[in-house]
């Protein structure tokens, strides 16, 4: 199932996609957290939504929001998690995080919930006074079941589904603060969507392909199987010492081809159009403002 949150006729709604229609299951104020509620309640709630005799609206008539407009916690993000990008970032002069080119353990940081925005929203590049805005197309993993001290063998049992994420970044702020939260936590710097696909809808997530385009020019292309630290490893590592909750989101890292990998760097400017696509998860499009 592809779960969505959207606006229609001035009101927020939540539901799922069925063919060319958006099926409205919840509307009004409750719709903001409706997808989170389904995640927390598990398959029973998913099945209930799927059998609802609810209002059907042409998908083209709604404005899609982030499927989880207000995550319950900050987004967990993984840095330098594809080999070629690890080298690209390490050699860029902007990596103040570690001396290792390829990390020996996952590099984890967070983006605040206030950085989340949805498909076709304006990403406020003007908030970065250093004018060093960059893109990072990524796969997002959404936790569906409380996870503490989970082994790699059991990790996928705790995954609810997957979503496209763009980990937009101010490179200069990332560098000068010697950590990544400020440069990556700017309001609107975490576009997410267009929908959240349940794990059964996706199948073998390692076979998905991610493509990022800037103004129609392809910049990134990779298969998820090429992650340095795969999804089970990330869940095992993070849950070893902290509890992951239903609705938590893990952005798994970006591949080679970001703006700072070019000489000179290709930073984003007002009017630039970003498009991140992942097989079966749709395309996430945003414009820099």
Tell me, yes or no, whether 70 lies in a domain.
no
Sign of the dihedral through C-alpha 278, 281, 282, 287: negative
Tell me, yes or no, whether 142 lies in a domain.
yes
The whole-number pLDDT of residue 148 equals 98
Domain with 45 in it = 2-64
58/157 same-domain check: no
The whole-number pLDDT of residue 272 equals 98
The whole-number pLDDT of residue 243 equals 98
22/158 same-domain check: no
| Residues 6+ positions from 275 with CB-CB distance below 8 Å | 212, 213, 214, 283, 284, 285
* DSSP-based three-state secondary structure for 127: helix
The whole-number pLDDT of residue 285 equals 98
Q: How many domains does the chain have?
A: 2
15/94 same-domain check: no
CATH code, domain carrying 172: 3.90.850.10
52/79 same-domain check: no
The pLDDT tens digits of the residues spanning 186-214 come to 999 999 999 999 999 999 999 999 999 99
43/95 same-domain check: no
The whole-number pLDDT of residue 98 equals 60
Average pLDDT across each block of 10 residues of the chain; the chain has 289 residues. List them in order: 97 96 95 96 89 90 98 95 72 64 90 98 98 98 98 98 98 86 96 98 97 98 96 98 98 96 96 98 98
Q: Could you say which of 64, 89, 105 is where a domain stops?
A: 64
pTM metric for this prediction: 0.95
**What is the rounded CA–CA span in Å between residue 238 and residue 76?**
10
Query: Would you tell me the crossing angle of helices 34-41 and 43-50 to the nearest 10 degrees?
Result: 120
Tell me, yes or no, whether 69 lies in a domain.
no
| Residues 6+ positions from 217 with CB-CB distance below 8 Å | none
57/167 same-domain check: no
User: Phi and psi of 124, rounded to 5°?
Assistant: -80, 75
- Cis peptide bond prior to 264, omega within 30° of 0: yes
Q: Could you say which of 34, 64, 94 is where a domain stops?
A: 64
Q: Could you say which of 64, 83, 108 is where a domain stops?
A: 64
90/54 same-domain check: no
């Amino acid at each position: 199932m592809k779960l969505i949150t959207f606006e229609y006729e001035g009101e927020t709604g939540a539901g799922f996609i069925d063919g060319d229609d958006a099926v409205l299951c919840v509307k009004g104020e409750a719709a903001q957290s409706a997808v989170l509620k389904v995640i927390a309640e598990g398959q029973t709630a998913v099945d209930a939504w799927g059998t609802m005799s609810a209002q059907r609206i042409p998908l083209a008539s709604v404005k899609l929001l982030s499927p989880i407009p207000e995550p319950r916690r900050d987004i967990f993000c993984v840095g330098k998690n594809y080999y070629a990008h690890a080298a690209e970032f390490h050699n860029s002069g902007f990596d103040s995080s570690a001396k290792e080119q390829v990390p020996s353990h996952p590099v984890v940081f967070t983006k605040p919930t206030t950085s989340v925005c949805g498909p076709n929203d304006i990403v406020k590049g003007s908030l970065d006074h250093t004018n060093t805005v960059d893109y990072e197309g990524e796969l997002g993993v959404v936790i569906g079941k409380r996870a503490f001290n989970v082994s790699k063998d059991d990790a996928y049992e705790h995954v609810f589904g997957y979503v496209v994420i763009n980990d937009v970044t101010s490179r200069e702020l990332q560098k000068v603060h010697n950590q990544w939260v400020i440069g990556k936590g700017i309001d609107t710097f975490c576009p997410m969507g267009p929908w959240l696909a349940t794990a059964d809808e996706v199948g073998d997530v390692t076979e998905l392909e991610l493509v990022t385009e800037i103004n129609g020019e392809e910049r990134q292309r990779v298969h998820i199987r090429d992650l340095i630290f795969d999804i089970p490893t990330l869940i095992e590592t993070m849950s070893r010492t902290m509890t992951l909750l239903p609705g938590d989101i893990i952005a798994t890292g970006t591949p080679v081809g970001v703006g700072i990998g070019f000489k000179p760097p290709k930073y984003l400017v007002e009017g630039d159009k970003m498009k991140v696509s992942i097989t079966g998860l749709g395309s996430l499009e945003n414009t820099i403002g």
